[in-house]
Amino acid sequence: MVKDQKKAQKKGKKKTPEERVRELVEKLPTEPGVYLMKDKKARVLYVGKAASLRARVRSYFRASGDSRAFVALLGRLVGDIETVVTNNEKEALLLENNLIKQHQPRFNIKLIDDKNYLVLRLDEQARYPRLETVRRLGQDGARYFGPYHSATSCRQTLSVVNRHFKLRTCTDHVLHSRQRPCLQFQIKRCDAPCVFPIAAEEYGKQVQDVALFLDGKDDELLLRLRARMKSEAQAMAYEAAGLLRDQIGALEKTLQEQRVVSGDFRDQDVFGLYREGDAIMLVVMHVRGGKLLGRRNFPYSGQEFPSDEILSSFVSLYYDLGANIPDEVLLPLEIEDAKVKADWLSEKRGHSVLVMTPERGPRRKLIDLAAKNASSAFVTRRNKAEDAETALLKLQDRLGLRKLPRRIECFDISHLQGSNTVASMAVFLDGEPAKGEYRRFKVKTATNDDFASMYEVLSRRFRRALQAENEAEDASDEALKGWRAPDLLVIDGGKGQLGSAMAALRDVGHPMIDALGIAKESETVEGEKVTDRVFLPNAKDPIKLRPNSAELYLLGRVRDEAHRFAVEFHRSLRKKRSLRSGLEDIPGIGKKRQRDLLRHFGSLKQLRSVSLEELARAPGMTLALAETVVNFLSTTAGADIFPELDD
């Protein structure tokens, strides 16, 4: 008794993980640095930086009625906090970027590099530089312009450059190997440096003009061209002056099409942010010389940390990946480390860079424009979800369902002439596949009877649902995960399979739910095409859904996903069992050696391709056994056991 009381007292003094984390927070250093929040399995959840590590981390755990969604989760999620002290905030900024890219934490913004966006590359150090499209920014001393949000806009810009400036378009290999000029020389769009000696100074002027054009410095470019035209005219080089005049006219017409959004004529990146809960849309607008050249959208979901921290982290990662740094970076929210960001960007660019959050004036109008773009992009991104919601509402209305079918489960049976009979359960949540909740079943009793197989599988599934409901303390209990009863039960099949499913529900004592059967598209005797037919439990005839309708398309997706999942499972089982049954016929190869051979070589094809010596070195094998296996597999009998596995 006394011993039990001592154990209870000792157990009562044991600290919870939350208490241990809170104690750890109070011992954190007050210097600047980086903190890594880790879960119970030591996986990094979040990486942040702070001027005072203790003050920043403590703010997350302070019981002050903080209503931010992520704060309530931290006590349950965080198992440890690791810190790295730095000399100053700039060092912390750089370290934070590296750690985010290294660990890819769950709650941090993850910025994918520009490999999916085209940029224009101009290497001014090359011999006769050319403008080319690439998808990656390199630290190679070249200049990069963009990125462009579409391949069309990038190639249109490249086309304008090729039309109005005489840079070569051929590759370095062609430049060094061509013997005579190409068509570009004939139409006066290139001076053919591949064949004719061109003065590097003259070619360099064209390169500088292209850089000014792509940087949006149109006024400076036109001034340069007019000065050269005047100089050529004074030197009585009237043909060259005429070409420059035509070039200026064409460029002025092209530049008039660009929209002026700022009278400051500075190079600016304007950030916009729109948020609903944990879903965020970030937009970056590129303003060069007062003209809006393009924008990029960055959608994120599951982001539960404050908007200013997300924005700060995003800005760091965006420019760390090599994006062009402008004169000004305009942000919609004030961030704590704006001055550190400005110093870091100024150092990277080699010129002063301002990072600001304007409250009024022309810059504020740009921020408002970026916010409009972010809101519009967010709505556009949500169209897919809205379409799914519409399809669910139409399905409910058309079939008279009692509940909106937010959770749909579909079952399918798969077998080959009664062998290896399996079933699949595909789950759709809010109209989209929830693959983490899919389930697979091996049919234990029925063999070549689809109705009996469906009855067995549905009995097991809903018996498990009843058990989970009994074990669960409330609706959010983990015991229900993956076994919660669906709003709509879909059976891949006609009235027979649907009847078996409803019988299973009745026999296990589960409350009746909305259910339907969907039979695959078929053809009549006359060759007429019949679309998918939908059967309801108490309806004699199938329900006709309009071809190409949203509700029929949704049901077809659910059915096809269940069928795919069942067939994949059946094939994998058939392959394994065929291989095992074949190995059982080899003298001296018992079950343990069968398992070892399968794990070691993975497939029959691989087993047949190995040498005798390699087979003898496999786990549990000897040279004599290896010779037996090789001899067996080389015979006709051994080859014919499972021919389907040899393709």
**Does residue 553 share a domain with residue 415?**
yes
pLDDT (tens digit per residue) in 502-540: 999 999 888 889 999 998 765 544 555 556 788 998 888
Beta carbons within 8 Å of 466's beta carbon, 6+ residues apart: 508, 509, 510
**b/e per residue, 515-538, with b = 16+ CB within 10 A?**
bbbbbeeeeeeeeeeebbbbbbbe
Give phi and psi for 292, each to the nearest 5.
Answer: -80, 115
pLDDT tier for residue 122 given thresholds of 50, 70 and 90: confident
**Does residue 344 share a domain with residue 371?**
yes
State yes or no: cis peptide before 547, omega within 30 of 0.
no
pLDDT of residue 645: 38
Residue 157 pLDDT exceeds 50: yes
Tell me if 223 is assigned to some domain: no
pLDDT of residue 115: 46
Whether residue 558 contacts residue 544, with contact meaning beta carbons closer than 8 Å, is answered with: no
Q: How far apart are CA 207 and CA 142, in angstroms?
A: 12
**Does residue 434 share a domain with residue 310?**
no
pLDDT of residue 451: 87
Tell me if 119 is assigned to some domain: no
Residue 146 pLDDT exceeds 60: yes
pLDDT of residue 488: 93
In this prediction, what percent of the chain has a pLDDT beyond 90?
A: 10
Domain holding 409: CATH number? Answer: 3.30.420.340
Q: Which of 255, 225, 252 is nearest to 241 (CA)?
A: 225
DSSP code of residue 413: E
Tell me if 214 is assigned to some domain: no
Tell me the residue ranges of DSSP E strands in 481-530: 488-492, 514-519, 522-523, 529-530
**Does residue 547 share a domain with residue 406?**
yes
Domain holding 357: CATH number? Answer: 3.30.420
Tell me if 163 is assigned to some domain: no
pLDDT of residue 331: 95
Please state the three-class secondary structure of 590-625 as a single string.
CHHHHHHHHHHHCCHHHHHHCCHHHHHCCCCCCHHH
The mean pLDDT of the chain is 77
pLDDT tier for residue 342 given thresholds of 50, 70 and 90: very high
Domain holding 613: CATH number? Answer: 1.10.150.20
Least confident of 70-74, 127-131, 320-324, 638-642: 638-642
Domain coverage including residue 364: 268-381
CB atoms within 10 A of CB 615: 21
Least confident of 455-464, 580-589, 621-630: 580-589
**Does residue 590 share a domain with residue 556?**
no
**Does residue 527 share a domain with residue 639?**
no
**Does residue 594 share a domain with residue 450?**
no
DSSP code of residue 543: B
Structure token pair of residue 43: 């996986």
Q: Looking at mean pLDDT, say which of 268-277, 337-346, 445-454 comes out highest.
A: 337-346
pLDDT tier for residue 186 given thresholds of 50, 70 and 90: confident
Tell me if 178 is assigned to some domain: no
pLDDT of residue 388: 78
Domain holding 99: CATH number? Answer: 3.40.1440.10
Say which amino acid occupies 461.
R
Which of 48, 78, 103 is the last residue before a domain boundary? 103
Which of 496, 529, 564 is the last residue before a domain boundary? 564
DSSP code of residue 645: G
**Does residue 402 share a domain with residue 501?**
yes
Residue 572 pLDDT exceeds 80: no
Residue 330 pLDDT exceeds 50: yes
Tell me if 131 is assigned to some domain: no
Q: If you search the block for the tokens 């769009």, which residue do you land on?
A: 189
Say which amino acid occupies 343.
D
Whether residue 408 contacts residue 490, with contact meaning beta carbons closer than 8 Å, is answered with: yes
**Does residue 315 share a domain with residue 457?**
no
Tell me if 320 is assigned to some domain: yes
Domain count, the chain: 4
Tell me if 229 is assigned to some domain: no
Which of 500, 531, 564 is the last residue before a domain boundary? 564
pLDDT tier for residue 67 given thresholds of 50, 70 and 90: very low
The CA-CA-CA angle for residues 430, 463, 437, to 5°, reads 30
Beta carbons within 8 Å of 624's beta carbon, 6+ residues apart: none
**Does residue 457 share a domain with residue 326?**
no
Q: Looking at mean pLDDT, say which of 4-8, 209-213, 370-374, 541-545 comes out highest.
A: 370-374
**Does residue 495 share a domain with residue 409?**
yes
H helix and E strand count, the chain: 23, 20
CB atoms within 10 A of CB 386: 11
Residue 154 pLDDT exceeds 60: yes
Residue 260 pLDDT exceeds 50: no
pLDDT of residue 79: 79
Q: Which residue has the higher pLDDT, 384 or 426?
A: 426
**Does residue 362 share a domain with residue 485?**
no
DSSP code of residue 114: G
